[in-house]
């Protein structure tokens, strides 16, 4: 009897020991798995912060560019001079209100300061006081007429005694930062570098909080506390919070990054996402593991069922992580698209400036040509010492005026409608326009005239040829080569001409060619050529093989669009080491131009 009792005690102790070991193993595995899940969630939160940071940096960079551009315009400087000399503010206020900066999507108006005092505003009041000096470019704090704190983008004038401030519409800025609507269980907070105000989303719309007032009222959001700690310690901070939502309280995981660690340098960023469901699953997982360790003594069947439950819940967690990663990738793509469109907008601004400069040069060259002709009329024709220099002056001025005229045509927007255009004249003018950009190691071979006329917009047709010629020059810039330009009218039975290696070797930007009653223009270079994977995408918008900052990827996409507008087609034939040939087929004009 005593032996049985001892054996029972030993069995009980062994069973208790096995149960404790199983529970301890369950807790250890659960903690490790929880740490891995939280680390994965923190990585997703970091990518979300990076996407928001890129969005903010892009929109603040656009504000800076547009404010500098508005202040550099001639009419703006003239209005500022009129205010200094005659104390007239109407023209300056009009220039401020109509500037591209004041019409920015995040703009709340434009202010002008002198000696720290606001003397002119496009809003209804000038009662704005700076909380810090307005002597540097960047985001500054202002106190408005409603005693509220405002953010403003500030830049100094050329004379450096006047500063212009672009008020930021905080809710619009927050919407740009978010990019897409937040889910119910996600939060995004922004805080300025000075820690004065915060932006967030509450009750279905963006909100603005003033940190000092929230501290006094004791109603500050917990994510604000995390942002303040990150700002004070100048380091990233993570934390778990209990958030009150529409369906009740839930556990949220948050990451806060100080402004000094952000690319935009103006705002600290905090993002959070719901994790209580994952935590509950982890807790259930730990209990299941403990049960499995206990039930393993009773049978293999229950253990297999428990393992199946673990696998199912692990898949659910993986699916949740994949969804978060996809959202982070979408926000990154939005930031990249915003930067590309901002770069395209700057190119459009340069085109507008080019047209204005061409007009001013024409105004300068006209009197030079006129006075040289007047001087020639008054000089004895046998006086070669004076006649020859005057003729050279007039000839050089006329050549400059012709070149500027071509440049003005290229920089103009679309005309009122299509017109009959000579293919030969258009090709010759385009070659003349791009001649200054031709590398010395590149020669141009121009084929015989074809006498063809097409219907189209003059500016677009010029842009079509210029883009093709410049691309060819760039392809041959390093090793040199030959640019061949030919044009020929197709016979009535001809269709689209394929590439040199047959129809399969070319990539077309249209479904069909113009066929009968058309003219074919070939632009061929002897450059390095393109592999198949590059040739298949040459007409795609924003596709480029050039380094960052050296190309927009829009040149050939615009070429394809222009050819389509003209009712024609374009093909490209290229192989590595054998050069590249672009073949454009355009329909002929239906009527013969007047002689």
- As a whole number, the mean pLDDT across the chain is 75
Task: Decide: 542 and 555 in contact? Cβ < 8 Å.
Answer: no
Distances (CA, A) of 465 to 436, 443, 538: 15, 17, 16
pLDDT of residue 502: 37
Q: pLDDT-based confidence at 496, cuts 50/70/90? A: very low
Task: Decide: 121 and 110 in contact? Cβ < 8 Å.
Answer: yes
Which DSSP helix (H) or strand (E) runs through 332? helix 300-378
pLDDT, mean of residues 393-397? 74
List strands edge to edge, sheet with 186-192: 205-210, 197-202, 186-192, 267-274, 248-257, 237-245
pLDDT, mean of residues 415-440? 85
pLDDT of residue 223: 77
Helices (H) and strands (E) in the chain, counts: 13, 20
Neighbours of 339 (CB within 10 A): 16
- Give me the DSSP letters along 23-50: HHHHHHHHHHHHHHHHHHHHHHHHHHHH
Q: Which residue has the higher pLDDT, 134 or 183?
A: 183
pLDDT, mean of residues 192-196? 79
Q: What is the distance between the alpha carbons of residues 163 and 143, in angstroms, rounded to a whole number?
A: 16
Let me know the angle formed at the C-alpha of 33 by 32 and 37, rounded to the nearest 5 degrees.
Answer: 120
pLDDT, mean of residues 333-352? 60
pLDDT of residue 581: 93
pLDDT of residue 588: 92
What length does the chain have? Answer: 595
Q: Which residues pair with 569 in a beta bridge?
A: 585
Q: Which residues pair with 243 in a beta bridge?
A: 250
Q: Which residue has the higher pLDDT, 502 or 305?
A: 305
Helices (H), 73-167: 74-86, 90-98
pLDDT at 89 over 60: yes
Neighbours of 263 (CB within 10 A): 13
pLDDT at 511 over 50: no
pLDDT of residue 582: 93
* pTM recorded for the entire structure: 0.43
pLDDT at 181 over 70: no
pLDDT at 109 over 80: yes
pLDDT, tens only, 558-587 = 888 889 888 999 999 988 988 899 999 999
**pLDDT-above-70 percentage for the chain:** 66
pLDDT, tens only, 273-324 = 877 665 555 555 555 555 565 555 555 545 556 666 677 777 877 887 888 7
Q: pLDDT-based confidence at 489, cuts 50/70/90? A: very high
- Give me the DSSP letters along 61-82: HHHHHHHHHHHHSHHHHHHHHH
Going by C-alpha positions, the residue among 321, 261, 319, 322 that lies closest to residue 49 is 261
pLDDT, mean of residues 448-475? 89
pLDDT, tens only, 250-272 = 677 888 999 888 888 888 888 88
**What residues contact 313, with CB distance under 8 A and at least 6 apart?**
281, 284, 285
Task: Decide: 438 and 485 in contact? Cβ < 8 Å.
Answer: no
Q: pLDDT-based confidence at 427, cuts 50/70/90? A: very high
Task: Decide: 494 and 515 in contact? Cβ < 8 Å.
Answer: yes
Name which of 113-122, 295-304, 336-345, 475-484 the model is least confident about: 295-304
pLDDT at 135 over 60: no
Task: Decide: 288 and 310 in contact? Cβ < 8 Å.
Answer: yes
Q: Which residues pair with 248 in a beta bridge?
A: 245
Name which of 70-84, 140-154, 303-317, 339-353 the model is least confident about: 339-353
Q: Which residue has the higher pLDDT, 320 or 493?
A: 320
pLDDT, mean of residues 125-132? 83
């Amino acid at each position: 009897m005593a032996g049985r009792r001892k054996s029972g005690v030993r069995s009980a102790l062994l069973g208790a020991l096995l149960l404790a070991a199983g529970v301890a193993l369950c807790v250890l595995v659960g903690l490790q798995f929880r740490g891995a899940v939280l680390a994965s969630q923190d990585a997703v939160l970091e990518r979300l912060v990076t996407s928001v940071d890129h969005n903010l940096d892009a929109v603040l960079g656009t504000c800076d560019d547009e404010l500098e551009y508005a202040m550099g315009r001639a009419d703006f400087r003239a209005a500022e001079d009129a205010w200094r000399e005659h104390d007239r503010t109407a023209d300056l206020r009009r220039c401020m209100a109509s500037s591209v900066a004041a019409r920015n999507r995040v703009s709340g108006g434009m202010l002008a300061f002198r000696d720290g005092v606001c003397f002119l505003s496009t809003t209804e009041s000038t009662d704005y006081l700076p909380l810090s000096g307005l002597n540097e470019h960047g985001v500054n704090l202002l106190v408005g007429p409603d005693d509220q704190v405002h953010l403003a983008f500030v830049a100094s004038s050329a004379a450096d005694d006047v500063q212009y401030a672009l008020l930021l519409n905080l809710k619009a800025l927050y919407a740009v930062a978010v990019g897409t609507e937040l889910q119910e269980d996600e939060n995004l907070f922004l805080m300025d570098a000075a820690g004065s105000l915060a932006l967030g989303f509450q009750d279905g719309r963006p909100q603005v909080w003033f940190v000092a007032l929230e501290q006094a009222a004791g109603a500050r959001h917990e994510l604000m506390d995390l942002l303040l700690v990150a700002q004070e310690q100048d380091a990233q901070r993570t934390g778990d919070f209990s958030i009150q939502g529409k369906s009740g309280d839930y556990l949220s995981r948050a990451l806060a990054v100080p402004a000094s660690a952000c690319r935009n340098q103006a705002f600290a960023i905090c993002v959070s996402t719901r994790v209580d469901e994952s935590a509950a699953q982890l807790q259930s997982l730990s209990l299941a593991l403990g049960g499995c360790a206990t039930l393993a003594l009773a049978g293999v069947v229950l253990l297999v069922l428990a393992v199946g439950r673990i696998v199912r819940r692990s898949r659910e967690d993986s699916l949740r992580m994949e969804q978060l990663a996809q959202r982070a990738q979408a926000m990154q793509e939005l930031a990249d698209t915003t930067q590309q469109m901002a770069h395209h907008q700057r190119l459009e601004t340069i085109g507008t400036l080019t047209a204005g400069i061409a007009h001013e040069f024409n105004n300068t060259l006209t009197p030079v040509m006129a006075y040289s002709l007047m001087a020639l009329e008054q000089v004895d024709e046998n006086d070669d010492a004076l006649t020859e220099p005057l003729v050279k002056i007039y000839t050089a001025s006329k050549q400059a005026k012709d070149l500027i005229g071509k440049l003005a045509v290229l920089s103009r927007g679309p005309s009122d409608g299509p017109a009959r255009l000579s293919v030969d004249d258009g090709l010759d003018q385009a070659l003349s326009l791009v001649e200054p950009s031709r590398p010395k190691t590149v020669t141009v071979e121009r084929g015989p005239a074809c006498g063809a006329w097409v219907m189209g917009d003059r500016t677009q047709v010029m842009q079509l040829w210029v883009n093709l010629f410049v691309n060819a020059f760039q392809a041959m810039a390093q090793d040199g080569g030959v640019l061949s330009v030919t044009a020929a009218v197709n016979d009535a039975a001809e269709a689209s001409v394929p590439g040199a290696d047959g129809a399969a070797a070319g990539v077309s930007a249209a479904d069909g060619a113009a066929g009968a009653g058309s003219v074919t223009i070939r632009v061929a270079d002897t450059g390095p050529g393109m592999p198949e994977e590059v040739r298949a995408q040459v007409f795609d918008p924003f596709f480029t093989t050039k380094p960052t900052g050296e190309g927009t990827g829009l040149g050939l996409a615009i070429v394809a669009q222009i050819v389509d507008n003209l009712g024609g087609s374009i093909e490209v034939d290229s192989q590595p080491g054998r050069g590249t040939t672009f073949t454009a087929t355009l329909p002929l004009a239906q009527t013969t131009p007047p002689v």
